[in-house]
Amino acid sequence: MLHANLREIVGKREIIEEVHSPAILKHLLDKLAQMYGKDFKQIVDQREGKTSLEFLVSINGQVTRDVYTKLNNNDVVMLSIPVGGG
């Protein structure tokens, strides 16, 4: 699931990506960075080796900063930005 300007870049709200098993979040993010460029590359804070605090990355709703989190079949990965409110 893509939100905010990530959605605008891709032009879709939702994409289905296949990643090879065993898969981790990093594989998916690297692939998207290659396909869609700079903004997607910035999702990972290269200094920390974790997802950047400027983004909100969740797997099945569970927010994660660990790019080595395992991905399972049919997992929903949401790439968004932290905006507060309701």
Q: Which residues bind other proteins (CB under 8 A)?
A: 1, 3-5, 7-8, 13, 53-56, 58, 60-65, 76, 78, 80-86
Q: How far is the CB of 82 from other proteins (least distance, A)?
A: 4
Q: In what order do the strands lie in the sheet with 77-80?
A: 62-63, 56-59, 77-80
Evaluate whether 77 touches 59 at the Cβ level (below 8 Å): yes
Distance CA 27, CA 59 (A): 14
Nearer to other proteins, 21 or 60 (CB): 60
Q: How far is the CB of 72 from other proteins (least distance, A)?
A: 11
